[in-house]
Amino acid sequence: MKSEEETGSRYLAAVKERLASQGVKAETFVGEGSPSDVILDLARQQGADLIAMTTHGRGGLGRLVYGSVSDAVLRHSTVPVLLFRSSAQ
């Protein structure tokens, strides 16, 4: 599990650096548990006024448009959710 956390941390650090080079301030966090629950809990704890995330749209029949994680976040969030289609197909 430690290896997955390190891989996630490295990936997010690279994304944060790429965003910073474009003038976008971003914070990263690697959590443990259900991804949608972790995202929603962190948004509440941080007092977020927007959740922005990418989606692959690869869920089952009930999730034809969004992925399962983004679908759960979209359904349960108390703040607006901005979804971007992932460019990596």
| Whole-structure pTM value | 0.75
The pLDDT of residue 27: 86
The pLDDT of residue 58: 59
The one-letter code for the residue type at 30 is V
* Residue 56 · residue 86 · CB < 8 Å: yes
Distance set, CA 62 to CA 4, 6, 22, 76 (Å): 29, 32, 36, 16
For domain 33-89, the CATH superfamily is HUPs (3.40.50.620)
Separation between Cα atoms, residue 31 and residue 42, nearest integer Å? 9
- Sequential pLDDT tens for the chain (89 residues): 678 889 989 999 999 999 999 999 888 888 889 999 999 999 999 999 999 988 876 555 545 556 788 889 999 999 999 988 776 54
* Residue 24 · residue 55 · CB < 8 Å: no
Where helices occur in the chain by DSSP H, the ranges are: 2-20, 35-46, 68-76
For the chain, what are the domain ranges?
1-30, 33-89
16: Cα separation from own chain's centroid: 13
